[in-house]
Amino acid sequence: MIRCERLVVGYLDTNCWIIAPDLPGRPPALIVDPGDDPDYLAAAAASYDVVGLLITHAHADHVLALQPLAESLNAPIIGHPAEREVWTAELDHLAKHGYLDAGTATADLVATGNAPRPNPDVPLWNGHLDQEIQTTTTLKLGPLDVDIIPTPGHSPGSLTVHAAGHLFTGDTLFPGGPGLTSPVYPLTDFAAIMTSVRNLLTYPEHTTIHPGHGPDTTVGTERPYVETWQARGW
Ligand SMILES: [Zn+2]
Ligand SMILES: [Zn+2]
């Protein structure tokens, strides 16, 4: 029914996903979070008819291959317009510090001499969205329905993708709780992410959760802990 291929890219080992119906030949596909390594992603994408590039949000580790892939694949960029502000903040951080913000990993990366910087040979995203998603929207990939669901909190325009019992949650929901929110990060919102997480955990318990970094989990595994996360406040 669904084919999903995980490609791990960039300085935070971001999970980029290629989602397609399980059909022979070159099925229509959506690429989620082309975070870096455009040549690697383009090679993987050659097995598909890529009909869109979707960003769950605009933190740099999810978008650094967006512009070159949009150009080489001639595919539209899909995302939430609130993410332009996030991307502007990412570029401001780069201009001010000389490296990208990597959330709680930034200090460690800088200390070990691996401060995250974009490849100067790869064009940065120009901030343009060909399709803006502001409410839950269903795209068709051949016979496969792909629902794009606003899940704000980690960032104001964070999106989650649902298809055939699989949730691609970006940095909204991981094994062990919601993604990063903190008063230190002004575009994040703990109350909002908890509302989003509670919404996602209403899917059937066998639904697979594929986060933006690291291993998968399931709705049934995570659902019992939601009040624990609420009480701890992160
Ligand atoms: Zn993020
Ligand atoms: Zn991330």
Using the mean position of ligand 2's atoms as its centre, give its distance from the Cα of residue 127 in Å: 18
- Split at pLDDT 50, 70, 90, the class of 187 is very high
Tell me the pLDDT tens digit for each residue of 73-115: 999 999 999 999 999 999 999 999 999 999 889 999 999 999 9
Domain-by-domain residue ranges, the chain?
2-232
- Give the mean pLDDT of 171-198: 96
Per-residue buried b or exposed e for 42-63, using 16+ beta carbons within 10 Å of the residue's own CB: bebbeebebbbbbbbbbbbbbb
198 burial class (0-12, 13-18, 19+ CB within 10 angstroms)? middle
Interval 29-34 mean pLDDT: 98
Protein residues near ligand 1, an ion, with CB under 5 A:
59, 171
Span from the CA of 9 to the centroid of ligand 1 (angstroms): 14
The token duo for 70 is 């949009």
Ligand nearest to the CA of 188: 1
Predicted local confidence at residue 190, as pLDDT: 98
Ligand number with the minimum distance to the CA of 62: 2
**Least confident range of 100-104, 135-139, 225-229:** 100-104
Looking at residue 2, its pLDDT comes to 97
**Domain 2-232 adopts which CATH fold?**
Metallo-beta-lactamase; Chain A (3.60.15)
User: CA 195 to CA 45: how far, in whole Å?
Assistant: 34
Q: Which amino acid is at 37?
A: D
Q: Is the pLDDT of residue 186 over 90?
A: no
